[in-house]
């Protein structure tokens, strides 16, 4: 059972924390007792989030840039002396269908969605290794298991499939160091990235028809799995990609 503050004395990093799932993740971890360094490109959004909880500490940066990743880790260690949790949430989609045919767009998506996850995970693992403990939580997608059709997202789907493989491989490599690596694969959850889809009534009806639970997810329905993976409740869980999709992938 999780107590009222299961993450007391823990320090977390959350990327892509200026909106959507990332902002929610930062708040949930802070409410559970962690000191949370919230990172994203939009500082004003992070500062607004930080005003809701004194345990959230905003730090602007682009996770796709090596210098910003280094500053994120260094600043967290300078301020708190440790890193216990890293939520690799930052991600981008491919955009319009016609853009997906370009190698440039493919590389951009892979740089943020895969390369940055790989690099930041390695950076925080150095601190976690010294502690002999840590939890890396990658944010994948149900579209790492099934095609995204009728929404065309080839680069995004490819990147999230790569995140699953990276999660499993790092989990095996780092298990002897006490570092656990898992991933959450959400289904249809309203976010800033997919807002246009949820504003379309035809899309809403299509989603309701095709999802076994008949609706999109509520943002609070990821709280439990996040806290499970971030806390000692999952001390024997590593290398797992846990799908939270209302049954979409079992149709």
pLDDT along the chain (251 residues), means of 10: 86 97 98 98 97 98 97 98 98 75 91 98 97 98 93 92 98 98 96 76 90 96 98 98 98 87
Tell whether 85 is covered by a domain: yes
Q: pTM for the full model?
A: 0.95
From 156, 188, 228, 248, active-site residue: 156
Tell whether 75 is covered by a domain: yes
Q: Which has the closest alpha carbon to 141: 119, 167, 122? A: 167
Whether residue 55 contacts residue 35, with contact meaning beta carbons closer than 8 Å, is answered with: yes
Tell whether 6 is covered by a domain: no
Tell whether 36 is covered by a domain: yes
Whether residue 123 contacts residue 70, with contact meaning beta carbons closer than 8 Å, is answered with: yes
- For position 110, what pLDDT does the model report? 97
- For position 96, what pLDDT does the model report? 63
Is 236 one of the annotated active-site residues of the chain? no
State the number of CA atoms in the 13 A half-sphere of 29 facing the CB.
Answer: 34
Whether residue 35 contacts residue 8, with contact meaning beta carbons closer than 8 Å, is answered with: no
Which domain does 147 fall in, by range? 11-187+218-245
Domain containing residue 178: CATH number? 3.40.50.720
Tell whether 202 is covered by a domain: no
Distance between CA atoms of residues 42 and 221, nearest Å: 25
Tell whether 34 is covered by a domain: yes
Whether residue 98 contacts residue 132, with contact meaning beta carbons closer than 8 Å, is answered with: no
- For position 210, what pLDDT does the model report? 93
Distance between CA atoms of residues 101 and 94, nearest Å: 10
Tell whether 201 is covered by a domain: no
Tokens of 211: 């999802």
Tell whether 79 is covered by a domain: yes
Whether residue 179 contacts residue 125, with contact meaning beta carbons closer than 8 Å, is answered with: yes
- For position 152, what pLDDT does the model report? 84
Domain count, the chain: 1
Whether residue 183 contacts residue 202, with contact meaning beta carbons closer than 8 Å, is answered with: no
Q: Which has the closest alpha carbon to 68: 36, 111, 29? A: 111
Distance between CA atoms of residues 11 and 146, nearest Å: 34
Q: Which has the closest alpha carbon to 168: 178, 183, 156, 147? A: 183
Question: What phi and psi values does residue 58 have, to the nearest 5 degrees?
Answer: -75, 140
């Amino acid at each position: 059972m999780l107590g009222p503050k299961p993450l007391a004395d823990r320090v977390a990093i959350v990327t892509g924390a200026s909106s959507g799932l990332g902002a929610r993740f930062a708040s949930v971890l802070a409410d559970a007792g962690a000191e949370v360094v919230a990172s994203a490109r939009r500082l004003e959004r992070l500062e607004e989030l930080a005003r809701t909880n004194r345990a959230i500490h905003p730090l602007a940066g682009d996770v796709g840039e090596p210098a910003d990743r280094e500053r994120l880790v260094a600043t967290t260690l300078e301020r708190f002396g440790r890193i216990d949790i890293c939520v690799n949430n930052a991600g981008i989609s491919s955009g319009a269908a016609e853009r997906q045919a370009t190698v440039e767009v493919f590389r951009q998506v892979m740089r943020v969605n895969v390369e940055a996850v790989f690099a930041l995970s390695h950076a925080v693992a150095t601190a976690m290794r010294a502690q002999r403990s840590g939890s890396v939580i990658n944010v994948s997608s149900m579209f790492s298991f099934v095609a995204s059709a009728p929404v065309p997202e080839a680069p995004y789907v490819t990147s999230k499939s790569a995140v699953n493989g990276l999660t499993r491989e790092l989990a095996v490599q780092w298990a002897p160091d006490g570092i656990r690596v898992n991933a959450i694969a959400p289904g249809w959850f309203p976010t800033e990235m997919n807002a246009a889809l949820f504003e379309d009534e035809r899309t809403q009806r299509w989603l309701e028809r095709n999802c076994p639970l008949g609706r999109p997810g509520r943002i609070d329905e990821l709280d439990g799995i996040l806290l499970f993976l971030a806390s000692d409740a999952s001390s024997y869980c590593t290398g797992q990609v846990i799908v939270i999709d209302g049954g979409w992938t079992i149709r």
